[in-house]
Chains A and B, each alone.
Chain A
Amino acid sequence: MMELEIELKKASDTLKAWDTTSISLTAGCDLFMRYVTRTSALEFEDFNSAKSRVLGRAEKFGEISNKARKIIAMLIQDFIFDGCTILVHGFSRVVFEILKTAAQNKKLFRVLCTEGSPDKTGVLLAKELAKLDVPVKLLIDSAVAYCMEEVDMVFVGADGVVESGGVINMMGTYQIAIAAHSMNKPVYVAAESYKFARLYPLDQKDLEPALRPIDFGVPVPPKVEVERSARDYTPPQFLTLLFTDLGVLTPSVVSDELIQLYS
């Protein structure tokens, strides 16, 4: 049994090592390990039943993760009222699921999509939404504060949810959250519970750097540096609510969950 746990740990470490910058991968692996190896009854049974128990829990974990998006979409439907304007940033599949469900429920709303440069992920999202007949408007990232007054709420996904209740997400989330907060617009984060990570960044530089190439369209002049970080950290005071498969949470509950999970 211990051997199996060691094997699992090795596999998990290998996975994590493949992409050290991905927080959700690390968090997911850690949570999976804890979830699966938690049962103390594993000690007492013979190996085969223990193994099937572990397998059962692993499958359950997978199911929960798959269903998480649907659960989150269900929870957030009440927050989308007819005639509202939603600002989204980046292409988060959870957020897309939410908007798809809302459209299927025949809600009338419109979406403002940031461009999400340099990846142009926002354009992709806009394309998908247009297919669903949802009114979409594309903005460049700099136009967020300009449009904030007509926005009713902001939806973002998360790469990881940290212990303070803040989120790590695609670059640009932080400034959108600041603009929304200063204009009293709620910021809703949609994240599955396996993204809860035991990190606690104090500032932007406290994160593991995740760099990506940025193409400005024109060659970068010599002796000019480029800020290539791909994500930023949004502190919890700018976030209103977290929508997870565990329910609708306030940012301070994340630490509660993490302490319980890891103690």
Chain B
Amino acid sequence: MESRRNPRAVVDPKVRQVGFFTSSQPDSTHQPDPIASESHPVVSSISPSGNSLSPVMIPPPRHNSSDTFPLRAAAASAVSPSSFSYSTRRDFPDGSTTAASPGRVSRGSFSKPSSSLPGVGMDAMAAAKSSSVPASGLNTVSVVNMPPEKESDQKKNSKPLKEKTTKAERRALQEAQRAAKAAANAEGGKAPLVSSGSVASTNIKATKPAKPSSQKNDVAVAAGPSEKKAGGQSEKDRKKDAPHPRMQYDDESRVVKAKRRAVVKQTEAKYRVELFRHLPQYEHGTQLPDLQTKFFQLDPMHPAVYKVGLQYLSGDISGGNARCIAMLQAFQEVVRDYSTPPEKTLNRDMTAKISSYVSFLIECRPLSVSMGNAIRFVKNRIAKLPITLSESEAKAALQSDIERFINEKIITADTVIVKHAVTKIRDGDVLLTYGSPTAVEMVLLHAHELGKKFRVLVVDSRPKLEGQLLLRRLIKRGINCTYTHINAISYIMHEVTKVFLGASSVLSNGTVYSRVGTACVAMVASAFRVPVLVCCEAYKLHERVQLDSICSNELGDPNAISKVHGREDINYLDGLTNNANLQFLNLMFDATPSDYISMIITDYGMVPPTSVPVIVREYQKEHSLV
């Protein structure tokens, strides 16, 4: 992710440039110049007021917004080296939202989202290719038919960026041809996702990206990357509304395409912190009403998935386990209502559908790592279905697999974790917890039932104030609690005997990726020599490695920070989100280094943070045998 680290020169002069950048290289022309310049063609202005190129980053070729589609597609594909594939992929769904005409958006976007699931750079390639394919909303069809081409293309494309850029023109030609072919195929084939029928090249392009992503998904890529992809897409979306600071993964054409394909109309936030440009940030408040009105129009989208997406968007469901379970139950319904279209194989078609739904969910809210693992599991199961099974048998098998996953990996895992964790709670303990982790709550309640005498310190922080929910539930059961905010943590830490934390994910180097603020709590506890215990189900562990909280994260609603509810006297920042001189940063997650963690409690037992790769290995072994 080198591109992330190097802030690009922002075309928007109002945006402050943070970080290192070389002399700007104006490049408002079409020529792809991968090495020389990195710029994000902005729809409005091309003049690079401060376009700078990070020496490390291989910039995508610059294209004018007025570039032809093929060229843009080429550029787009060029941009996505494997590390950027994530972003590219995500871009598609997001990008297509606003750009495309309303008619096309809904249908086209579906195909795109599905395909734009995480995948390694290949998708970007595929996306480029797909763009040239005329899309009549046949996401599935194109997916099924194109994979071979895509694969080869992708492989080619995932090679050095340079290659792509130099082949851009060739690609444009290829894409045009492919588009023609796809159009022909589209006519003949059946697409579960009905496109609006508008054969817009953008739609086609959208479908193309969709295809690679679905292919990627089959390759069982972790959902983690999808987060990054989404970030890239939002970038593109933003370009529409505000001067795009930088196109991390792709150039403008991709953003446009992604936007057109996207289901959720996202308008990107105008003023964003430079360091986090690689993450998507949208104007909150505009997405939900828009989506709600579309509920009855979105044919290809299953209502259950739509409902879950809305719940994510509004924040009704939050927390790793809850989101994962909601998503998996929605998928169960999808499977139940599914019927294989004629001339399609269940495996591929179902996978494509799942991919499209996942893209939609990503648009609503970037996936958590645990959700990514769950999706990988589902796709794995679909792929492993024996061909000989009849459709109803296959569907029943899938549904029971998903049910088993939920029960074994989440619900039963929680009981095992509780069983291990209560052995660590002694009479007279003062336990500190932060936020509202489900696993920790179960541990505390169970320990209380066992009659252990302890008291709990709930630490909370703005803007989510999740600790209050936990506090309520604990008090209802009669547990002795204290409540404080995170700025008092060093004050109260001296009386704490143990710290229990939850995690969104634990990565292979032992880093705990969890709600923002967790790292603070863990570090202060470590400084006071208080043991820190992290409760995390095994399905949330991931083989990825993360060194800091910047490279992969999620940005929340800046208005949540600026507005202080109910306290008009200190509501100073209300309404200042539109000020050019002020950028709000509402991070949702942070990464806690493994040195501050004493022990991780999983359903595999109590392990030191160094043993996470071992569990990931065992877990994968278990799944490959299943």
Contacts and interface: CB of A to CB of B under 8 A. Distances in A.
Given A255-B610, A259-B614, A260-B614, 17 more contacts: A163-B606, A163-B607, A164-B608, A165-B608, A198-B605, A202-B498, A202-B599, A203-B531, A206-B424, A252-B608, A252-B610, A252-B611, A255-B607, A256-B611, A259-B604, A259-B607, A259-B615
Q: How large is the interface on B (under 10, 10 to 19, 20 to 34, 35 or more residues)?
A: 10 to 19
A235 to B, nearest CB: 9
Contact of B604 (A164, A202, A236, A263): A263
Contact of A255 (B426, B531, B611): B611
Q: Which 4 pairs from chain A and chain B are nearest by CB? A: A252-B610, A255-B611, A200-B606, A202-B531
9 contacts: A163-B606, A163-B607, A206-B424, A252-B608, A255-B611, A256-B614, A258-B605, A260-B614, A262-B605
A202 B608 contact: no
Contacts of B586: none
Contacts, number: 43
Interface string A221-263: 0000000000000001000000000000000100110111011
Contacts of B606: 163, 200
Contacts of A255: 607-608, 610-611, 614
A186 B369 CA distance: 40
Interface in B571-626: 598-599, 604-608, 610-611, 614-615, 618
Contacts of A164: 599, 608
Contacts of A260: 614, 618
A259 B610 contact: no
Interface string B417-435: 0000000101000000000
Contacts of B598: 202
A228 to B, nearest CB: 19
Contact of A163 (B424, B531, B605, B615): B605
Contact of A263 (B426, B531, B610, B618): B618
A175 to B, nearest CB: 16
A260 B622 CA distance: 12
A128 B606 CA distance: 40
Contacts of A263: 604, 618
Interface in B413-470: 424, 426
A139 B457 CA distance: 47
Nearest to B608: A164
Nearest to A237: B595
Contacts of B498: 202
Contact of A202 (B424, B605, B607, B614): B424
B608 A236 contact: yes
A155 B595 CA distance: 26
Given A164-B599, A200-B599, A206-B424, A259 B608 contact: no
B611 A259 contact: yes
A205 B424 CA distance: 11
A165 B614 CA distance: 15
A247 to B, nearest CB: 17
Interface in A187-227: 198, 200, 202-203, 205-206
Contacts of A202: 424, 498, 531, 533, 598-599
Contacts of B608: 163-165, 236, 252, 255
Nearest to A258: B605
Nearest to A250: B610
Interface string A136-170: 00000000000000000000000000011100000
A185 to B, nearest CB: 23
B300 to A, nearest CB: 42
Contact of A259 (B424, B426, B531, B605): B605
Nearest to B420: A200
A49 B531 CA distance: 50
B615 to A, nearest CB: 7
A256 B605 CA distance: 12
B298 to A, nearest CB: 44
B77 to A, nearest CB: 42
A126 to B, nearest CB: 36
A114 B611 CA distance: 35
A259 B599 contact: no
Contacts of A236: 608
- Which of A164, A202, A260, A262 has the most chain B CB atoms closer than 10 A to its own CB? A202
A204 to B, nearest CB: 12
Contacts of B618: 259-260, 263
A255 B610 CA distance: 8
Contacts of B604: 259, 263
Contacts of A256: 611, 614
A260 to B, nearest CB: 7
Contacts of A206: 424
A259 B614 CA distance: 8
Nearest to A252: B610
A199 to B, nearest CB: 9
A262 B606 CA distance: 12
A200 B607 CA distance: 8
Nearest to B609: A252
Contacts of B599: 164, 200, 202
A37 B240 CA distance: 65
A200 B610 CA distance: 14
B271 to A, nearest CB: 45
